[in-house]
Amino acid sequence: MLLFAGAVMVLLLMLLVIVVRLHAFIALILVSFITACITGVDPTSIVSVMLSGFGGTLAAVALLVGLGGMIGKLLDASGGAEVLSRRLVDYFGEQRAPFALGVASLLFGFPIFFDAGLIVMMPILLTVARKLGQSTLTYVLPAAGAFAVMHAFVPPHPGPVAAADLLGVNMGLLLLVGLLVAIPTWYAGAYLYGKYAGQSFNLPVPAWFSGETINDTASAQPGFSRVIVILLTPFFLISLDTVANTLVTAGMLEPGAWLNNIRLFGKTPIALLVTLLLALWLLRSLFSRRQLESLCNDALGPLCAVILITGAGGMFGGVLRASGIGDALAALLADTGLPVIVAAFVLSSCIRVAQGSATVALTTTAALLAPVLAAQTGLSAMDLCCIVIAIAGGATVLSHFNDSGFWLVSRLLEMDEKTTLKTWTVMETLLGTLAFVFAALLSWLF
């Protein structure tokens, strides 16, 4: 009955948003409430469960979106995004601009989480799309796909790290296997598909980005080096925290107060705050103080809808988790007799569809499979790495209404839900399926 109720609620949400055209924020709250009521959540806990899912998502997303939006607005208004996009296009050529931006996102995506990386890169992607007059999907999907594969398959991101720890996988080998799988998966599932989607869906630059800029004179644009410094600052700071954490975990560095103080600046919200302050200082000669204040204020207004709808998606995912639907799916699939790597992919996919979070699907599936793998004999270190990748592939597929990433991409690009399902959801499903195929092939070969 839990599985049936979960399926009905997802269909109801799709009906309300796509057919009835009810605002997604209202629909998500309504369906979250109905789901909690019919799945047996304690009536005294329903509101707290909804608020917990909503608040937990906002805590992770709101600061990133707000600070990243301000950085993006400053880069756009100053002409910095134009400077960088022009340099990339001149170097790689217009035909290879999506590839160049995707590769840059792969590099940025090694230490930076999906949400933060996409927010930082978004003004560059939209500026190139506006400059070349093409669909934003041509540039955004390859970059978003790059951040997605790095976040799902490559340590030190939390999902693969947690799964590796639960299953006793060698982290260094997983890093190599993850990269080996992530790169061809991105090329086929994000870059090539992004070019196809851009031709099939002519999506214009969103209104929140395409307005008049305060500084529109080419002679007053910042230098290329300043733009690079602004973009690399969050990458450097977050990398610092990532490297330090890896060294501490490996026993190569002793933890202490001084290290904690350094790592503090590598936490994503603090790193973006430092980057914003640096951008304000480096671009101060191009604007008056009143203009800088106005730009920061203007950046926040259009992003409020992004933040609230993303939070509502987290609310729906939280209710699905509290209802026990994910556990019911796990119990159903635990004794199917499928090969371990196939069962890992299927189980992770079902949990992902049920509750939305890729990280939760990764860690939950790994925890469920840990005793099964412990009883298995003959599994090599490569087999275990491939099982983690298969779990990550399942945790990537079928991003839909209960996934905060779905709403983040949808609202940043001002796509309706139907188009988001046809583009973002399809790309995520391609990425997850391709990763599973590559992992199964590696497991068979080695």
How distant, in Å, are the alpha carbons of 152, 170, 175, 347, 386 from that of 178?
9, 12, 5, 20, 9
What pTM did the predictor assign?
Answer: 0.68
Q: Residue 371's pLDDT is what?
A: 65
Q: Residue 404's pLDDT is what?
A: 74
Question: In whole angstroms, what is the distance from residue 193 CA to residue 196 CA?
Answer: 5
Question: Greatest CA span in the chain, whole angstroms?
Answer: 68
Q: Which of 144, 125, 127, 120 is nearest to 76 (CA)?
A: 127
Question: In whole angstroms, what is the distance from residue 230 CA to residue 73 CA?
Answer: 13
The beta-strand segments (E) located in 358-444 are none
Q: Residue 160's pLDDT is what?
A: 81
Question: In whole angstroms, what is the distance from residue 282 CA to residue 274 CA?
Answer: 12
Radius of gyration in angstroms for the set of CA atoms belonging to the chain, rounded to a whole number: 22
Q: Residue 425's pLDDT is what?
A: 92
**Is the separation of the CB atoms in 222 and 283 below 8 Å?**
yes
If you count them, how many residues does the chain have? 446
For the chain, residues with pLDDT lower than 50 are: 212-219
Question: In whole angstroms, what is the distance from residue 273 CA to residue 279 CA?
Answer: 10
Question: In whole angstroms, what is the distance from residue 268 CA to residue 26 CA?
Answer: 30
Which residue reads 């707000």 in tokens? 66
The encoded tokens of residue 37 equal 């009521």
Q: Residue 60's pLDDT is what?
A: 63
Q: Residue 215's pLDDT is what?
A: 46
Which amino acid, one-letter code, is at 203? L
Q: Residue 212's pLDDT is what?
A: 46
Measured in whole angstroms, how far is the alpha carbon of residue 69 from the centre of its chain? 16
Q: Look at phi and psi of residue 324 and say left if phi exceeds 0, alpha if psi is from -120 to 50, else beta.
A: left
Q: Which of 124, 112, 174 is nearest to 366 (CA)?
A: 174
Structural element, H or E, at residue 45 = none
